[in-house]
A and B are shown apart, each in its own frame.
Chain A
Amino acid sequence: MTVAQANPIRAAGGPRGEGGGAATRMLVEVSDLSKTFDVSAPWLNRVIERQPRRFVHAVDGVSFAIERGRTLALVGESGCGKSTVARLLVGLYGPTRGQVRFDGADVVHTLQHGDARALRRRMQMIFQDPYASLNPRWRVRDIVGEPLREHAIVTDTQALRERAAQLLQSVGLAAADVDKFPHQFSGGQRQRISIARALATQPEFLVCDEPTSALDVSVQAQVLNIMKDLQRQQGLTYLFISHNLAVVRHVSDQVGVMYLGRLVELADKQHLFASPRHPYTRMLLDAIPDIHMTGRSRTPVQGEVPNPLNPPPGCAFHPRCPHANARCKAERPVLLASQGVAVACHAVAEGRV
């Protein structure tokens, strides 16, 4: 898996107009990443009912790269695998195939045989549910201080408390909040506590799994603003997972669109929103209700996301695609870059769209 395949945009002389030598600037590189879950019935049931083993290809051959200090957003609907990608990147799951490289080193290898501690310090994660991502029995100072204690960055109790207070203040909360319990905070405040915890070890890379999906719009604005400020101040790199294209447009530099475990389009934000190539991306953009662009003409949306246990053969999107032909039903399209945009679509490659 070459650098070119890992980041087709860069290799194609993407928006910056540079080619090789890009590997050193990429903080995160993902190549042919795949994760298959075994969802077979229990052994006894399988034997008695003669059922075959069943697998879900939650992530199937995904490749991309993220530059230091920038934000890549992954969008898609339910079952597209974006949350699984997030967890693969931080090592919560091990990949079935493929590789994740962080600053040049293989993540799985480092976690198992190398300096796992150091790696964990450098990458952290923010989760979707503000109510489940903080231990309800712990005080905020312990929650935010846990990474510090775990990595022996700060061990003295008093110093820990002060550092936790500092971290809370950096996300817009009061220093006195360190002694409270999570249930005393609102959803947006809890999400800020999660951010403070993630920043405790001064990481370089943050994986954000739908961090604002559970929040009200005005609270979402606060959290997104904070995240952008922090990125600017600390030079953070984000992988931002979301199903909300409007939010993605606001926070990201690059956008990857996923469908049934596969990456169908990967492009700079401007390119993707101004001229989406892949039929699924177009359908998504068309489908979003937007408060200022109402009543526009739309291509009618067909069908629903298929069952991930039985993905369609060939291109996963072909049953819903207005441009599908025989080749689409048989052959799976590869992510190909052209003019700074990578698309996995036969119709685009053949110039039919």
Chain B
Amino acid sequence: MNGSAPLLEVRGLRVEFPTRRGTLLALDDVSFDIAAGEVLGVVGESGAGKSLTGAAIIGLLEPPGRIAAGEIRLEGQRIDHLPYEQMRAIRGRKIGAIFQDPLTSLNPLYSVGQQLVETIQTHLPLGAAQARQRAIQLLAQTGIPAPEHRIDQYPHQFSGGMRQRVVIALALAAEPKLIVADEPTTALDVSIQAQIISLLKRVCREHGAAVMLVTHDMGVIAETCDRVAVMYAGRIAEIGPVHDVINQPAHPYTQGLMGSIPAMDSDRERLLQIDGAMPRLNAIPAGCAFNPRCPQAFERCRRERPELAVARATRAACWLNVEASVS
């Protein structure tokens, strides 16, 4: 990473859901950076808060959820509490979004071309003919055959994988600096998944866009990302370069996670399992959120919440590393 300011800075992000039974803390003091052109993976299991992080950054938090504290800066400018109109301008122009379900991401009533051109013209000063040309270019870049012909077709005339390519084209239409992709390949077949992953990597590199890839699939992260943040119960447990997190995880949760994934190269009789389940939002333990399930937990883990600290090749929120570095 070069020394210039990061593209996206998230500091101390706190997202709350006020309910009649009290306030639920869904994201608790989440901080990370994304450099320009970098691919950051955000991985976690259901309920960890990874999709919420993406939603908070795009500005699409569902009420009553709200950002209670913290800052989100895009290219130095604060975007976490912008009024609706300003956020709408930024969304699309500077941030593109790709969601999980290609069926509902595209409006079934408009042709693919109409949707692309609309997005292009909203954010770029191009005339209709130029915008259409650019749309055809984008479709070609995302691997859609015969784009001049298919640009006038409707979403239901595309297969699932093709639709996701169109969604990627749509996300890139206004040349955004950051793409937030939430489970972009989960709904696709394995063989299509591979195509879409490599496509995403390629076009984002070509367009110079940074990517925040949110998913539960560690394999996809391993293939696509430069760095990865592992989330647990609304907090970041570990963050670092992808191969270091996978091969030398410092946080016991990451270790358990990597061990429980059945891998193609090993032949273990039993998978490593982490007993118990992720705590519900209204029952997050005191101290380190992982301590009830952690095989290496000690007294301090139950009392104090650890901050992200350097641990070998990554940064992990775990007292084991602090104790180790002290002793």
Question: A residues engaging B (CB < 8 A)?
Answer: 77-78, 186-189, 216-222, 224-225, 228, 243-247, 249-250, 273, 283-295, 298, 301, 304-305
A273, B274: Cβ atoms closer than 8 Å? no
Known contacts being A217-B218, A219-B277, is A289 close to B271, with CB within 8 Å?
Answer: no
Question: B residues engaging A (CB < 8 A)?
Answer: 45-46, 159-162, 189-195, 197, 216-223, 243, 246-247, 256-266, 268-275, 277-278
B247 vs chain A, min Cβ distance (A) = 8
Q: Which of B195, B262, B274 contacts A246 (CB 8 A)?
A: B262
Known contacts being A188-B277, A288-B219, A290-B265, is A220 close to B194, with CB within 8 Å?
Answer: no
Among A78, A217, A298, the most chain B Cβ lie within 10 Å of the Cβ of A217
A275 vs chain B, min Cβ distance (A) = 14
Among A216, A283, A284, the most chain B Cβ lie within 10 Å of the Cβ of A216
A250 to B247, CA, bound (A): 20
A288, B264: Cβ atoms closer than 8 Å? yes
Complex contacts, B218 vs chain A, CB 8 Å: 217, 291
Complex contacts, B277 vs chain A, CB 8 Å: 186, 188-189, 219
Q: Which of A225, A289, A293 contacts B265 (CB 8 A)?
A: A293
25 contacts between A and B (CB under 8 A): A77-B189, A77-B191, A188-B277, A216-B278, A217-B218, A218-B274, A221-B261, A221-B272, A224-B262, A224-B271, A228-B270, A243-B190, A273-B264, A287-B190, A287-B193, A288-B264, A290-B222, A291-B218, A291-B221, A291-B258, A291-B261, A304-B160, A304-B162, A304-B191, A305-B189
Complex contacts, A77 vs chain B, CB 8 Å: 189-191
A228 vs chain B, min Cβ distance (A) = 7
Known contacts being A228-B270, A284-B191, is A289 close to B219, with CB within 8 Å?
Answer: yes
B112 vs chain A, min Cβ distance (A) = 17
A214's nearest neighbour on chain B, judged by CB, is B46
A216's nearest neighbour on chain B, judged by CB, is B45
Complex contacts, B258 vs chain A, CB 8 Å: 291
A284, B262: Cβ atoms closer than 8 Å? no
B262, A292: Cβ atoms closer than 8 Å? no
B190, A284: Cβ atoms closer than 8 Å? yes
A220, B223: Cβ atoms closer than 8 Å? no
Among A220, A249, A273, A291, the most chain B Cβ lie within 10 Å of the Cβ of A291
Q: Which of A228, A289, A291 contacts B194 (CB 8 A)?
A: A289
Known contacts being A77-B191, A289-B217, A291-B246, is A221 close to B271, with CB within 8 Å?
Answer: yes
Majority secondary structure of chain A interface residues (helix, strand, loop or mixed): helix
B221 vs chain A, min Cβ distance (A) = 8
Known contacts being A289-B223, A301-B194, is A249 close to B271, with CB within 8 Å?
Answer: no
Known contacts being A77-B190, A225-B271, A284-B190, is A289 close to B197, with CB within 8 Å?
Answer: yes
A265 vs chain B, min Cβ distance (A) = 15
A298 to B258, CA, bound (A): 24
Known contacts being A77-B189, A188-B277, A221-B271, is A292 close to B265, with CB within 8 Å?
Answer: yes
A250's nearest neighbour on chain B, judged by CB, is B262
Q: Which 3 A-B pairs have the closest CB atoms?
A: A221-B260, A289-B219, A287-B194
Complex contacts, B265 vs chain A, CB 8 Å: 290, 292-293
A218 vs chain B, min Cβ distance (A) = 5
B260, A218: Cβ atoms closer than 8 Å? yes
B191, A218: Cβ atoms closer than 8 Å? no
Complex contacts, A243 vs chain B, CB 8 Å: 189-190
Complex contacts, A286 vs chain B, CB 8 Å: 194
B122 vs chain A, min Cβ distance (A) = 31
A290, B264: Cβ atoms closer than 8 Å? yes
A287 to B264, CA, bound (A): 12
B272, A289: Cβ atoms closer than 8 Å? no
B246, A292: Cβ atoms closer than 8 Å? yes
B200 vs chain A, min Cβ distance (A) = 12
Q: Which of B161, B162, B262 contacts A247 (CB 8 A)?
A: B262
B189, A301: Cβ atoms closer than 8 Å? no
A223's nearest neighbour on chain B, judged by CB, is B273
B273, A222: Cβ atoms closer than 8 Å? yes
Complex contacts, B192 vs chain A, CB 8 Å: 301, 304
A285 to B194, CA, bound (A): 11
A304 to B160, CA, bound (A): 9
Known contacts being A218-B274, A290-B222, is A246 close to B191, with CB within 8 Å?
Answer: no
Complex contacts, B260 vs chain A, CB 8 Å: 217-218, 220-221
Known contacts being A289-B217, A289-B223, is A218 close to B256, with CB within 8 Å?
Answer: yes
B193, A217: Cβ atoms closer than 8 Å? no
Q: A286-B194, A294-B222 are in contact. List 11 more A-B contacts (CB 8 A).
A: A188-B277, A221-B272, A246-B263, A273-B264, A285-B264, A289-B220, A291-B222, A292-B222, A292-B266, A301-B191, A304-B189
